[in-house]
């Protein structure tokens, strides 16, 4: 049986990562999408245990202290982390697994799980990235400015990834990802 592949999807805020993950959840239930823990407040429509596990600062501190996170990072004023146990269980059970995490998290996974495939999701252009982030309308202008600043840093790190997919069409991105995840690491 081919080994299942741990795949990481990263890219600047607003590029479409959540949209791609939501489409994968709908169209490819055979892929397991890790649910991260975050100290960020839920956006309208986000459900505890679906998009994220929403946690307080003390709870997050506890998870870090007890080593329950595979990786974690602070991003734009909030903390985010991947629960370790479920990821290892799914991989051991042969289930293709996807983490949608930021650049700092991707770097940690590169070190701790060197077989992982690191995929960078890129916008068609900087202008389109700004348009998407502003168009989403979920953050106030100061938070958008901060995320765009982070976005420049993330875009500069593209070459650290195994490959780049440009998010022009969400369906095409999903198709590429599924194809990649079906191929065992050589
Ligand atoms: N390191 C790490 N980053 C995460 C995790 N979960 C989400 N992120 C990243 O945190 C950043 C902010 O996520 P979010 O607040 O949902 O905003 P959005 O990605 O702009 O919709 C994104 O780059 C996510 O990929 C995680 O478990 N670990
Ligand atoms: N391929 C695409 N074409 C046009 N708009 C897109 C595309 N992918 C995502 N979007 C839109 O861009 C905005 C940001 O997407 P989102 O998934 O929230 O990004 P991220 O999770 O990377 O921050 C959303 O309004 C989303 O509907």
Mean pLDDT (the chain, rounded): 93
Query: Residue 15 Cα, ligand 2 centroid: separation in angstroms?
Result: 6
Query: Residue 115 Cα, ligand 1 centroid: separation in angstroms?
Result: 22
Q: Is the pLDDT of residue 185 over 80?
A: no
- Any known ligand binding at 4? no
What are the structural domain ranges in the chain?
A: 6-181
Give pLDDT tens digits for 29-38: 999 999 999 9
**Helix 170-181 with 17-27: angle, nearest 10 deg:** 70
Sheet holding 117-122, edge to edge: 32-33, 97-100, 6-10, 117-122, 163-166
Give pLDDT tens digits for 58-82: 999 999 999 999 999 999 899 999 9
What atom in ligand 1 is closest to the CA of residue 108?
Answer: 1
pTM of the model: 0.94
User: Is 106 in contact with 113 (CB distance < 8 Å)?
Assistant: no
Query: In angstroms, rounded to a whole number, what is the distance separating the alpha carbons of residues 175 and 142?
Result: 35
- Rounded to a whole number of angstroms, the CA Rg of the chain reads 16
In this predicted structure, what is the pLDDT of residue 186? 39
- Any known ligand binding at 44? no
* Confidence band, pLDDT 50/70/90 cuts, at residue 3: low
In this predicted structure, what is the pLDDT of residue 89? 96
What is 6-181's CATH topology?
Rossmann fold (3.40.50)
- Any known ligand binding at 12? yes
* Confidence band, pLDDT 50/70/90 cuts, at residue 183: low
* Confidence band, pLDDT 50/70/90 cuts, at residue 2: low
Nearest ligand, measured from the Cα of 107: 1
Q: Is the pLDDT of residue 1 over 80?
A: no
């Amino acid at each position: 049986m081919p080994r299942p592949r741990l795949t990481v999807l990263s890219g600047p805020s607003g590029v479409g990562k959540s949209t791609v993950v939501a489409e994968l959840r709908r169209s490819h239930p055979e892929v397991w999408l890790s649910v991260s823990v975050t100290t960020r407040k839920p956006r309208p429509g986000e459900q505890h245990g679906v998009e994220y596990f929403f946690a307080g600062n003390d709870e997050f501190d506890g998870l870090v202290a007890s080593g329950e996170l595979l990786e974690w990072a602070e991003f734009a004023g909030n903390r985010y982390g991947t629960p370790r146990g479920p990821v290892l269980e799914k991989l051991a059970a042969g289930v293709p697994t996807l983490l949608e995490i930021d650049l700092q998290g991707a770097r940690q996974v590169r070190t701790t799980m060197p077989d992982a495939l690191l995929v960078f999701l890129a916008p068609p252009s900087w202008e389109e990235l700004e348009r998407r982030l502003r168009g989403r309308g979920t953050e106030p202008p100061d938070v958008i400015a901060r995320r765009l600043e982070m976005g420049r840093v993330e875009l500069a790190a593209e070459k650290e990834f195994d490959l780049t997919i440009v998010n022009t069409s969400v369906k095409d991105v999903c198709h590429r990802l599924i194809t990649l995840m079906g191929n065992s690491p050589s």
